[in-house]
Amino acid sequence: MEGMEILNALAVFSNYVLVPALTYGSQLALGALGVTLIYGVLRFSNFAHGDTMAFGTMVVILFTWLFQSWGISFGPLPTALLALPFGILVCIALVLLSDKFVYRFYRRKKAAPVIFMIASMGVMFVMNGLVRFIISPKDIQFRDGERFIIKAREFKQMFGLDEGVAIKVTQGITVVIAIVVVIALFWFLNRTRTGKSMRAFSDNEDLALLSGINPDKVVMITWMIAAALATIAGTLYGLDKSFKAFTYFMLLLPIFASAIVGGLGSPLGAIAGGYLIAFTEIMLTYAYKKVAEYMVPGDEWEADSLMQLLSTDYKFAVSFMILLLVLLFRPTGIFKGKSV
């Protein structure tokens, strides 16, 4: 039956592209939001953001193990969610320390953004070493609880299709938490006095000072939010895939690509950029063989290749290419951020 074929194709596409890309896009969006807020308020590209994510996630893992040793669990949900608030707090503490001992010095000296960026690389190496030293550079799985919200087999039975869509608990959690966090963040930025003062400071620092807005407070709150976002993004990514210090360092590229594509300094842009990068990366590296076989009418047709545009080995090249194109043709990004 013709209609069934299309539904099957859609199911395959959802299972291998739509659901994973929504998940990965949410993780990138949360990471890019942190980068873009720091850029907007402190005016530099924070290269330590990937390792901030790693540090926060590491603390979450340590608390997860502690809770597990106490026999505490979160039912069908991962225990890591219970550990998340503690990870956020410790990560905030570390980031505020890095500001106190590194960035504040350069702020007093009114250093150029490039100096801040290089300082952030130093912070990156320190955080990276800290994480490897404390929890090892190895690959770590810390997911527990139920694995699936819906299994492929259940999906097939439910809809009477040959192909199923599996949705993992970690994927569901990622999307739900990303939505909640983004709503909370936008409420804070647009509705509270402190949030508005952050936007004003990002807009025009001199005028903010003339209006009596306290720069130290704005900077502190920005770091706290960035650390919280980093820990959440890192934990969701680690639950969904796995935790490894090096992987988080590598995430810096797609995260920066997301923030820059969306327009540095623009929170809305960071979200759009996150999904754009995720969808492009996954769609360009997915093998469409099966989808095509369902879509082409007639039963016997078989694709003679995988129909894959790019090998998955090149997935980081995708971020890089998009980044290049944006910088060449629209340096301010989709949402007109600050030009880089």
Residues that bind other proteins (CB under 8 A): 193, 196-197, 199-200, 203-204, 206-213
Taking the least distance from each CB to other proteins, the nearer of 25 and 269 is 269
Taking the least distance from each CB to other proteins, the nearer of 109 and 193 is 193
Taking the least distance from each CB to other proteins, the nearer of 141 and 339 is 339
Give the span between the Cα atoms of 190 and 198, in whole angstroms. Answer: 10
Q: Are 29 and 224 in contact (CB under 8 A)?
A: no
Minimum separation from the CB atom of position 109 to other proteins (A): 16
Minimum separation from the CB atom of position 273 to other proteins (A): 18
Minimum separation from the CB atom of position 219 to other proteins (A): 15
Minimum separation from the CB atom of position 194 to other proteins (A): 10
Taking the least distance from each CB to other proteins, the nearer of 119 and 208 is 208
Minimum separation from the CB atom of position 213 to other proteins (A): 5
Q: How many CA atoms lie within 13 A of 55 on its CB side?
A: 27
Minimum separation from the CB atom of position 206 to other proteins (A): 7
Which residues neighbour 72 within 8 Å (Cβ) at sequence distance 6 or greater? 79, 82
Q: Are 234 and 54 in contact (CB under 8 A)?
A: yes
Q: How many CA atoms lie within 13 A of 147 on its CB side?
A: 5
Taking the least distance from each CB to other proteins, the nearer of 77 and 200 is 200
Taking the least distance from each CB to other proteins, the nearer of 50 and 337 is 337
Which residues neighbour 150 within 8 Å (Cβ) at sequence distance 6 or greater? 165, 166, 167
Give the span between the Cα atoms of 59 and 50, in whole angstroms. Answer: 15
Q: Residue 124: is it exposed, middle or buried by C-beta count within 10 angstroms (0-12/13-18/19+)?
A: buried
Minimum separation from the CB atom of position 91 to other proteins (A): 29
Q: How many CA atoms lie within 13 A of 159 on its CB side?
A: 19
Q: Are 164 and 154 in contact (CB under 8 A)?
A: yes
Taking the least distance from each CB to other proteins, the nearer of 177 and 185 is 185
Q: Are 268 and 84 in contact (CB under 8 A)?
A: no
The residues facing 114 across adjacent strands are: none
